[in-house]
Structure 1
Amino acid sequence: MAGIEIAVIVGSLRKDSFNRKLATGLAKLAPADFAFRQLRIDDLPLYNQDDDGNPAESVQRLKSEIRAAQGLLFVTPEYNRSFPGVLKNAIDHASRPYGKSAFPGKPAGVIGVSVGAIGTALAQQHLRNVLAYLDVPTLAQPEAFVQAKDGLFDADGGIGPAGREFLQGWMDRYVAWVRRHAG
């Protein structure tokens, strides 16, 4: 399979987001036939079912980008023991109205980074529950609860020595998962 496009949805809007850095660094660990595209979610209106018949242009764009991709990568921080509202809002838009979800069958990976010792474990578990309902086959193992430490990122925006071996292993499993399910 050549030219595999991955839609990357980062659950943080912060300018210097660790999770955006992680998404960028992970893409550098993937094989050359994988292209990672970070999708924009900061311009989406709050989800309102009244708008299902006439979605905003930003919502239409998001759904189109997800549909065009062969796989999904969710990179999320943890806020209050769950994933952020901005990510939930994007998922709600892309999965609605009922019967017109952009997600079914798209293989996904879920990962995140935090300064806390358990990384984004609870956020990832909540997100996996939502993705299971949306018929998104999600890589189960290895789980990756990444702690932001010195050396995690290198000066070029890649994964530094502190996490390279582990995250390369995660990426290799994710790539195999997408190849198995995207065909």
Structure 2
Amino acid sequence: MKFVAIVGSNADQSYNRMLLQFMQRQFKIKCEIELLEIKDVPMFNQDDDQSDCFAIRYLNNKIIRADGVIIATPEHNHTITPALKSTLEWLSFRLHPLENKPVMIVGASYYDQGTSRAQVHLRKILEAPGVNAYTLPGNEFLLGKAKEAFDLNGDIINEGTVAFLETCLDNFIQYVGVVSKLRKPRPIEPEDLDCGRPIATTIHGIDPDDPDWLEKASKQVGAVEGDTYVKLDNGLLTVNQLNMFLNAMPFELTYADDNNQFLYYNNKHQEPSTMLGKRVLEQVGNRMSTVHGTLPPARMKNVEWVIGTLRNGNQEYVRTIVPGTPAEIINTHNYQAMYYPDGSYAGINEIIFNFKPWLDWYLEATGQRLVGGTAVAAAPAHADATSGASDAGGSASPVADATSGASES
């Protein structure tokens, strides 16, 4: 499970931040916890709507995609901090990411009560109309005497306290599993598969369906190539090194941006007939409607379903196994949402690979074997071996079209 944890203080030094950082380290096997700060959130003022500012958009997008939220609140004058209250006001004004979202409350304070009164107040706020979050009754973690509670490494010293915190987190994880069944996916709007909504990186003046789009677009924007260096988040590589790195991946990779324009695939020199997801160079730059133009209308709707599901944050990824392939192939596709710095949807990263060699290696390395049938036979729907499009109408877990990212359900 993936949780976001909101630091309920805008102070540089905060025991509540330390508490969340400890949870992040201590329970990394149980769940993924990402810390969110509220330092840059403006003071709430309904006459000066700042719902579109980066800090609020970022929180909104992160919360929408999380399975649950953990809030660590200090206690100021028997209540939560002004910074946290202002943040919750923004997240219940124009935007409502906490609606039907499970929330766990924790808190650390200098004194014995461990933010008990602030937590009671916070529960009332989270239950208010416009917020409508779900909180698990009685699941309270109150860390008192915070100055003495942590060692020099930021770890909680008392083993009994750590055990109780783990119990509270375990309860919350189970609660999230129950509440998730009550959540309704955000409605999917019609997708424009013709690239009709240009974005900041859209290259204008060249028809996306031009078979020479890559060369013409590269020339228009002065794209670098060869041994020109590119500074990445965590590295410095030349364009040639990037190409070698991506082409050496044991996967077929593709990318389409949030304007639904197909922009990249690796393994350029591989014959399309040998690929699980057949691609050709002339498709680079194409509209998604063109890439999947041979699909019948019903299955084009499946393309929209996958894109809309990822765009809305209803799911962070869509995975499928395409049956109907030879026994030595388990045709596996993963459609992963990508995000801009503010957390908004930036397109789809598709990974396609034959899972069979990986499975065989794992079974041999661990001395295990499959029982009860093969993975391919267990696939939930029949699919066309060429397009991968599922015809399992009405299934609870739609099976995506391995070529188009489509589910017919």
> What band does the TM-score fall into relative to the shorter chain?
0.7 to 0.9
2:23 maps to what in 1?
A: 26
1:124 maps to what in 2?
A: 119
The more displaced of 9-18 and 108-117 is 9-18
Taking structure 1 as the reference length, the TM-score comes to 0.87
Alpha-carbon distance change, 75 to 53 in structure 1, aligned in 2, over 3 angstroms: closer
- Tell me the distance in 1 between the aligned counterparts of 2:115 and 2:132: 22
Larger Rg: 2
Match of 1:180 among 178, 192, 198: 178
Taking structure 2 as the reference length, the TM-score comes to 0.41
- Tell me the distance in 1 between the aligned counterparts of 2:148 and 2:168: 18
- Tell me the distance in 2 between the aligned counterparts of 1:122 and 1:130: 13
| 1:168 pairs with 2:163 | no
1:106 maps to what in 2?
A: 101
Between the aligned residues of both structures, percent identity stands at 29
- Superposed CA deviations along residues 36-84 of structure 1, whole A, max 9, x for unmatched, are 1111211111112134376212211121111111101010100000000
The more displaced of 47-56 and 22-31 is 47-56
Task: Give the SS at the match of 1:78.
Answer: coil
Which residue identity lines up with residue 166 of structure 1 in the other structure? F
Within 5 A, what are the aligned runs for 1:1-183? 4-30=1-27, 32=29, 34-52=31-49, 55-97=52-94, 100-133=95-128, 134-149=131-146, 152-162=149-159, 163-183=161-181
Alpha-carbon distance change, 11 to 125 in structure 1, aligned in 2, over 3 angstroms: same
- Tell me the distance in 2 between the aligned counterparts of 1:54 and 1:111: 26
Q: Are 2:109 and 2:146, in contact at CA under 8 Å, matched by a contact in 1?
A: no
Q: Runs of 4 or more off by more than 4 Å in structure 1?
A: none
Q: Are 2:104 and 2:135, in contact at CA under 8 Å, matched by a contact in 1?
A: yes
Alpha-carbon distance change, 155 to 174 in structure 1, aligned in 2, over 3 angstroms: farther
State the 1:155 CA deviation. Answer: 4.0
Q: Which has the higher helix share?
A: 1
State the 1:179 CA deviation. Answer: 2.2
State the 1:12 CA deviation. Answer: 1.4
Q: Are 2:8 and 2:83, in contact at CA under 8 Å, matched by a contact in 1?
A: yes
Structure with more contact order per residue of length (Cα contacts < 8 Å, sep ≥ 6): 1
Which residue identity lines up with residue 115 of structure 2 in the other structure? T
Q: Are 1:29 and 1:171, in contact at CA under 8 Å, matched by a contact in 2?
A: no
Q: Are 2:98 and 2:132, in contact at CA under 8 Å, matched by a contact in 1?
A: yes
State the 1:150 CA deviation. Answer: 6.6
- Tell me the distance in 2 between the aligned counterparts of 1:165 and 1:33: 14
Task: Give the SS at the match of 1:111.
Answer: strand
The alignment yields a C-alpha RMSD, in angstroms, of 2.0
Q: Are 1:26 and 1:159, in contact at CA under 8 Å, matched by a contact in 2?
A: no
Task: Give the SS at the match of 1:36.
Answer: strand
Which residue identity lines up with residue 113 of structure 1 in the other structure? A
Q: Unmatched 5+ residue regions in structure 2?
A: 182-409
State the 1:132 CA deviation. Answer: 0.8
